């Protein structure tokens, strides 16, 4: 056989030998629709992931607002009261509630 005839014979044989795709086709629609729904972002998890930056920004904004407008600050004098000049006795009295 000349090269052209050889190639034709080879291509003919390859054409006749078709792959069996039955196993790959099994439940293909189910897999495809699952992927389609996933890509559409229908799952709660994907929504949660998408919205997480929004919730993070909301948390930061709430913290800033709370700090700026509610004026909740730790009173340094009430903390330092426990360490007055006369030492442990005053601390014990303070802890017992005798001196507030």
Partner 1 sequence: MPEPAAAADAALVAATLAGDDDAFADLVRRHKGRVFATASRFARDAHQLDDLCQEVFLRAFRHLAKFRGDAPFEHWLARVTVSACYDLLRRERRHRGHLSLDEMEFDPRDISVDAALAAGRARELVGWAMGQLSAEERLILTLLELEERSVREIAALTGWSESNVKVRAFRARHSLKKILQPGHES
Residue 31, interface with partner 1 (CB under 8 A)? yes
Here's the x/- map for partner 1, 38-67, by CB under 8 A: it reads as -x----------------------------
Alpha-carbon distance of 53 to 47, in angstroms, equals 11
Alpha-carbon distance of 69 to 1, in angstroms, equals 93
The CA radius of gyration of the chain, in Å to the nearest whole number, is: 38
Residue 36, interface with partner 1 (CB under 8 A)? yes
Alpha-carbon distance of 42 to 9, in angstroms, equals 52
Cβ contact 71:65 at 8 Å: no
Residue number with CB closer to partner 1 (13 or 80): 13
Residue 7, interface with partner 1 (CB under 8 A)? yes
Note the residues at the interface with partner 1 (CB under 8 A).
Answer: 1, 3-4, 6-7, 9-11, 13-15, 17-19, 21, 23-25, 28-29, 31-33, 35-37, 39
């Amino acid at each position: 056989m000349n090269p052209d005839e050889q190639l034709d014979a080879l291509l003919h044989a390859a054409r006749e030998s078709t792959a069996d795709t039955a196993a790959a086709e099994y439940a293909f629609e189910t897999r495809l629709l699952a992927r389609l729904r996933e890509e559409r972002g229908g799952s709660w998890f994907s929504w949660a992931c998408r919205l997480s930056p929004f919730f993070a920004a909301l948390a930061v904004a709430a913290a800033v607002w709370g700090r700026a407008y509610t004026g909740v600050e730790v009173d340094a004098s009430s903390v330092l009261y426990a360490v007055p000049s006369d030492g442990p006795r005053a601390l014990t009295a303070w802890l017992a509630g005798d001196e507030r």
